[in-house]
Amino acid sequence: MCLKKRKNKKKIFASEEEKEEKYYCSVCGREIGKEEFESFEGMCEDCYTEYLQQIEDDEGYYPE
């Protein structure tokens, strides 16, 4: 599976009074929370875990 990054942060304006930022996984596009977005380099936890597993399988170690 090729992990391709895309734009992962969108601002959605529900009304002029209410502004809400939504974050999306850069791999699968699932909506995620700001904390998850910042913790896992713009990916959801599932995609980030898969990414780390793929690196380990390819190179035999985890990046730091």
The span from the CA of 59 to the CA of 43, in Å, is: 21
Range of the domain at 43: 19-59
Distance in angstroms (rounded) separating the CA atoms of residues 48 and 56: 12
Structure confidence at residue 33 (pLDDT): 95
Whether 49 is in a domain gets the answer: yes
The answer to whether residue 7 is domain-embedded is: no
pLDDT tens sequence for the chain (64 residues): 556 556 556 555 555 434 578 999 999 999 999 999 999 999 999 999 999 999 888 776 555 5
Q: 61: which residues sit within 8 A by CB, 6+ positions away?
A: 55
This prediction has a pTM of 0.61
64 part of a folded domain: no
Q: Tell me the CA distances in angstroms from 24 to 18, 37, 45, 59, one per residue in order.
A: 19, 8, 12, 28
Please state, rounded to an integer, the average pLDDT across all residues of the chain.
78
Q: Is residue 6 part of a domain?
A: no
In the chain, the number of structural domains is 1
Res 18: pLDDT: 45
Please report whether residue 42 resides in a domain: yes
